[in-house]
Structure 1
């Protein structure tokens, strides 16, 4: 969307309409855009309809529309936000050139795009599918690295839906927001390196990678697992670790999230039963994000908790990093997570 407003548009209209960027306009179907388009009419100083969904633009209109867009005269309605979100979610890098979207709207786009990418990858965890996920993940990290406080809007997109892809996105968003709270000063002082941030993000989203190797009936079971089934599930950190080499993801940040997200500082976790400072910062962070998101997510056989209930339970649990649980408790309150 355009960064320069040619016209004095009232705050009310700014809430209802927003300018469209030439790059984003060019990503639409040329003759049949998927949403209604409006133009600013200088004669009456207001926004009027230009194109209605279901119609067809002529070649002359296409040229005129391109010129009007460059001039900052073309708008779309926020009523069409769901259509816009879906469209941009398939071309996620366009988020970085759209300066008029609100943070909460961008959060909607990232949620839809990354949930879809995670679902595709977990259904087919092979390098070619992973590359598409990685491309979109790098758009997310670019967006957040510019301003880590943007992670707050993402954390507010916490969903209660059941499913591996929903848990992955929840854990990624909550983990990155928590990281932003813990390392805020480091971001300000340039102490967080982009490469490390990229890899940590990948680890947070993919920590349950090994679950894709478990039998489908275990993943879909609507009753508590048997002892034998639980033992199979407990192998998923090791299974995920083994899969990282095939994906060319043998980085410490990713490995720590995948292998250590069920470890506990008390040594009561699995699969290695490591404890204390032997458990990496990334492992402790991912363990907390994973547990919190598992508690608030709906499961077929267990009642989910509210974010407040989950944060309070984790705060009182000595098996987790106490500094991190304290920051999580404050973050849940600050962001008013529900």
Structure 2
């Protein structure tokens, strides 16, 4: 959209400028938030529509033209409403140039957490297709600038649930991959389909957990041997589920099957060791452990991010180069505190 009016920084701090695409995604007569229009004579916005009301037929015809002129706004006070609205039509983040990077990150967190929860509850192709569409918006967004992943990692969930853990691993794993392959990203040498499949593997590495009884996953007391055995089967269960979801790609299979293998041979289910574990398996295993350590569970509080990464770097079960890169990502790039 060609904006015909110069918008002051102060105005942008208080309002979102709405593109025609975003405007068109609202309810035709009853938008979910207040709408304002720029008054050029005083360089201020004036109320145009109040949430809960109804646009007139004349306003419905007029608003698209005003949006094309670049003078339609909504208040940043309505950020939660705006985030929720866009999260249901995620591809809109790719066309709205007025959203800040932090605001886009909020939208991705909400959208992908919801999609992942739906998929874990009902891991069938129809639900997966919706998840995949939103995931492709994320990879398109990050492939344009992998450094955008930093804002996502700053928004990791701090309470544990299977969907929250999946989203945390997806964001952290893609950020770590970007750290390890930053020169290829900046030179545009990353193969998009491989990046897409890695993203799917990171988000869905624990999909087999959807087949583990809920009472075991929520248990606060120590697990029995039989209960632990059921949990330890989840990589194999997940691997079997990939066929039903038409996800038989090496990157996805590696994340699902190998995320509990350890380079010193102490992992499971196949007791692989060293380079017998794929790059993607080692990456996902490290990220899986990190994200498990930093979230609150019934039996304990989550650890501080850098402390968790440092602990993993000193653990012989993890790839030393990857663990060091994760630590540096958090210490230098992220400047992160929980």
Give the CA deviation at 1:160.
Answer: 0.8
Give the CA deviation at 1:259.
Answer: 0.3
Q: Which residue of 1 aligns with 2:335?
A: 336
Unaligned runs of at least 5 residues, structure 1: none
Give the CA deviation at 1:189.
Answer: 2.8
Q: Which residue of 2 aligns with 1:56?
A: 54
Distance in 1 (CA, whole Å) between partners of 2:43 and 2:306 is: 48
Q: Which residue of 2 aligns with 1:111?
A: 109
Which residue of 306, 319, 322 maps to 1:321? 319
Q: Which residue of 2 aligns with 1:15?
A: 13
3-state SS in 1 of match to 2:244: coil
Structure 1 residues 220 and 91, CA gap change in structure 2 (3 angstroms): same
| Residue correspondence of structure 1 range 245-324 to structure 2 within 5 A | 245-324=243-322
Unaligned runs of at least 5 residues, structure 2: none
Distance in 2 (CA, whole Å) between partners of 1:9 and 1:164 is: 43
Q: Which residue of 1 aligns with 2:118?
A: 120
| Residue correspondence of structure 1 range 146-185 to structure 2 within 5 A | 146-185=144-183
Contact kept? 1:199, 1:254, Cα under 8 Å: yes
Q: Which residue of 2 aligns with 1:242?
A: 240
3-state SS in 2 of match to 1:245: helix
Deviations 1:221-272 (A, max 9, x none): 1222222211111110000001100100000000000000000110110001
Cα RMSD for the two superposed structures: 1.0
**Most deviating of 223-232 and 212-221:** 223-232
Contact kept? 1:263, 1:273, Cα under 8 Å: yes
Distance in 2 (CA, whole Å) between partners of 1:32 and 1:178 is: 42
3-state SS in 2 of match to 1:250: coil
Which residue of 76, 82, 85 maps to 2:83? 85
Give the CA deviation at 1:46.
Answer: 1.2
Distance in 2 (CA, whole Å) between partners of 1:15 and 1:183 is: 34
Structure 1 residues 97 and 306, CA gap change in structure 2 (3 angstroms): same
Give the CA deviation at 1:14.
Answer: 1.3
3-state SS in 1 of match to 2:137: helix
Distance in 2 (CA, whole Å) between partners of 1:137 and 1:226 is: 37
Q: Which residue of 2 aligns with 1:219?
A: 217
Q: Which residue of 2 aligns with 1:142?
A: 140
Moved over 4 A (4+): none
Distance in 2 (CA, whole Å) between partners of 1:191 and 1:8 is: 36
Q: Which residue of 1 aligns with 2:188?
A: 190
Distance in 2 (CA, whole Å) between partners of 1:307 and 1:176 is: 16
Give the CA deviation at 1:293.
Answer: 0.2
Give the CA deviation at 1:45.
Answer: 2.0
Distance in 1 (CA, whole Å) between partners of 2:163 and 2:108 is: 13
Give the CA deviation at 1:190.
Answer: 3.3
- Alignment partner of 1:43 is 2:41: yes
TM-score (norm 1): 0.97
Q: Which residue of 1 aligns with 2:200?
A: 202
Give the CA deviation at 1:147.
Answer: 1.0
Which residue of 4, 7, 13 maps to 1:6? 4
Give the CA deviation at 1:161.
Answer: 1.2
Distance in 2 (CA, whole Å) between partners of 1:105 and 1:44 is: 28
Contact kept? 1:224, 1:301, Cα under 8 Å: no
Distance in 2 (CA, whole Å) between partners of 1:99 and 1:311 is: 34
Contact kept? 2:3, 2:68, Cα under 8 Å: no
| Residue correspondence of structure 1 range 92-103 to structure 2 within 5 A | 92-103=90-101
3-state SS in 2 of match to 1:48: strand
- Alignment partner of 1:73 is 2:65: no
Distance in 2 (CA, whole Å) between partners of 1:245 and 1:124 is: 15
3-state SS in 2 of match to 1:191: coil
3-state SS in 2 of match to 1:319: coil
